[in-house]
Amino acid sequence: MNKLMIVLIMLCTVFLCCCSKKNDATTTTGTTTSGDTSYNTLYIPPVLTGTTFNLNLSKTSKQFFTSGTATNTYGYNGEQFWGPTLILNKGDHVSFNVTNNLADTTTVHWHGFHIPAKMDGGPHQKIAPGETWSPNFTVMNNASMYWYHPHLHEATYKQLTMGAGGLIIIKDAAEAALKLPRTYGTDDIPLVLTSRRFNTDHSFDTTVNDYGDYSLVNGTLYPQVSLPKQYVRLRMLNAEIERAYNLGFADNRTFYVIGNDGGLLDAPVPVTRLVLGVGERVELLVNLGNDAVGTTVALKAYNANQAFGFPGGESAQSGALGSLLNAHDFKVLNIKVAAATASAVTTLPTSLVTNTTLAASEATTNISTAITAGQGGSEFAFDDNNYNYVTINHTITLNAVVKWTFVNSNIFGHSIHIHDVQFKIVSRSSGAIAAYEKGWKDSFYLQRGETVSVVAKFEDFADSVNPYMYHCHFPNHEDAGLMGQFLVTP
Ligand code: C2O
Ligand code: CU
């Protein structure tokens, strides 16, 4: 997105507003879905448990539409899109065999994990075609939902778009002690939010676009899920290219945020809307106990009327920077209420876990990073440097508590992710930090014109050779160089 493009978008907007005739995709995925009866059953990825995990990435295909040709995709372990959900226990030592059956090099990154840099699966831990990479580490993170995905520099956009990725659920004793829904696929539902643009032959458009035209949840187009008449837990990941989701329910019901990227909150936070940026996860409790069996309620993205700079708020409906879903409120998931289960959770917990704080005043080191360039045809950069494999942008001493400030006096919103750590957001120049994002985070939405500071302790793993990454989690921005690397040294 550069200035020239913005002018073009504005011109297109004028054109579209004057003469738009909604096409089929807008009608079915856009604002007029209430009469839509042709839902597909939401796919729930299978789980893998234990302490040794084998993952094989290969080409496959998936029938997204009811007629016509299947779409060529990538999946792990024979999944038609995406991969199995790995269930890990905090404290376990786990090992992986990741085999690359593609014709291209890949990597697998364990997003959100606190692990040694050489196990991290960033751009340096390449897996050549036909090779197997076998990292192992101890699970130190709190119970929450994390994810794995390719992270090869300049290949992340394509491999993610083709479907490579998967969820990881970590369990721990503190979470297990709470009365929370936790039957995977029944009252504890993973939701991977994304979208794709299709060519006329149903292949994915893998030219670099910012947005897809069709909303997908767990790879399901027009998804519907039956959920029991009780409190249900929704674990959401924004696995988009750029689009942020302003999520809410069609009847504006209050729902409760119980967890952020890296663990549970102190207590449930009631909301009616929440913004989820790319790479972020959130855990929600929604009460369906007052809904009649057989009724439906839609989870929607209220993305219409966003200020410019909100990714997916642009009004262009086509082109590299537009989408049929942009600037629309669109249905993400249709929920159909079913009978309660035998062991239903029917009350909201008043408190969850006791989180330690990490305040700006505890910082021993300050880092400031500016979003630069991205205009006049240049690619977005951190501090005017586009990523390369050899430049170490920052060196952090082991056990440093770092206040890391991201300054976005630039033209568009981004989503920032730092490897190795879970941090606390300590300031947002746009206003107060929402109560629902006061937990442990590894990714955050950085608005256009905003400065955000986070505080993290870089402990346990020092390595003077292998760096960790920090980057915009829009894979197109990351591939184009909006990424840097840091060493944690003894
Ligand atoms: Cu989800 Cu650096 O990645
Ligand atoms: Cu970005």
- The minimum-distance atom of ligand 1 relative to the CA of 122 is 2
Question: Residue 43: pLDDT above 90?
Answer: yes
What pLDDT does 25 receive? 36
What pLDDT does 66 receive? 87
What pLDDT does 18 receive? 32
Q: Compute, in angstroms, the gap from residue 341 CA to the centroid of ligand 2.
A: 43
Q: What is the pLDDT of residues 301-331, one digit of tens each?
A: 999 999 999 999 999 999 999 999 999 999 9
Q: Is the CB of 469 under 6 A from ligand 1?
A: yes
Q: Is the CB of 477 under 6 A from ligand 1?
A: no
- The minimum-distance atom of ligand 1 relative to the CA of 112 is 1
What pLDDT does 357 receive? 87
Q: Is the CB of 279 under 6 A from ligand 1?
A: yes
Q: Is the CB of 197 under 6 A from ligand 1?
A: no
What pLDDT does 59 receive? 98
Q: Is the CB of 151 under 6 A from ligand 1?
A: yes
Q: Compute, in angstroms, the gap from residue 226 CA to the centroid of ligand 1.
A: 32
What pLDDT does 10 receive? 40
Of the listed ranges 104-108, 204-208, 362-366, the least confidently predicted one is: 204-208
Please give the CATH topology (third level) of the domain spanning 360-489.
Immunoglobulin-like (2.60.40)
Which ligand has the minimum distance to the alpha carbon of residue 122? 1
Q: Compute, in angstroms, the gap from residue 412 CA to the centroid of ligand 2.
A: 8
Q: Is the CB of 153 under 6 A from ligand 1?
A: no
Q: Compute, in angstroms, the gap from residue 168 CA to the centroid of ligand 2.
A: 24
What pLDDT does 67 receive? 87
Architecture of the domain whose range is 47-175: Sandwich (2.60)
Domain 4-26+179-338 has CATH 2.60.40.420: yes
Q: Compute, in angstroms, the gap from residue 487 CA to the centroid of ligand 2.
A: 22
- The minimum-distance atom of ligand 1 relative to the CA of 470 is 2
What pLDDT does 13 receive? 39
Question: Residue 19: pLDDT above 60?
Answer: no
Q: Is the CB of 149 under 6 A from ligand 1?
A: yes
Q: Compute, in angstroms, the gap from residue 319 CA to the centroid of ligand 1.
A: 26
Q: Is the CB of 109 under 6 A from ligand 1?
A: yes
- The minimum-distance atom of ligand 1 relative to the CA of 419 is 2
pTM: 0.93
Q: Compute, in angstroms, the gap from residue 469 CA to the centroid of ligand 2.
A: 14
312 and 306 Cβ atoms separated by less than 8 Å: yes
- The minimum-distance atom of ligand 1 relative to the CA of 478 is 2
Q: Compute, in angstroms, the gap from residue 371 CA to the centroid of ligand 2.
A: 9
Question: Residue 3: pLDDT above 90?
Answer: no
Protein residue whose Cα sits closest to atom 1 of ligand 1:
111
Which ligand has the minimum distance to the alpha carbon of residue 279? 1
Q: Compute, in angstroms, the gap from residue 414 CA to the centroid of ligand 2.
A: 4
Q: What is the pLDDT of residues 137-173, one digit of tens each?
A: 999 999 999 999 999 999 999 999 999 999 999 999 9
What pLDDT does 380 receive? 96
CA 217, CA 192: separation in Å to the nearest integer? Answer: 5
What is the mean predicted confidence (pLDDT) over 398-422?
97
Q: What percent of the chain has pLDDT over 70?
A: 92
- The minimum-distance atom of ligand 1 relative to the CA of 443 is 1
Where does the chain hold its CATH 2.60.40.420 domain(s)?
A: 4-26+179-338, 47-175, 360-489
Q: Compute, in angstroms, the gap from residue 52 CA to the centroid of ligand 2.
A: 35
Protein residue whose Cα sits closest to atom 3 of ligand 1:
111
Q: What is the pLDDT of residues 235-265, one digit of tens each?
A: 999 999 999 999 999 999 999 999 999 999 9
- The minimum-distance atom of ligand 1 relative to the CA of 471 is 2
Which ligand has the minimum distance to the alpha carbon of residue 168? 1
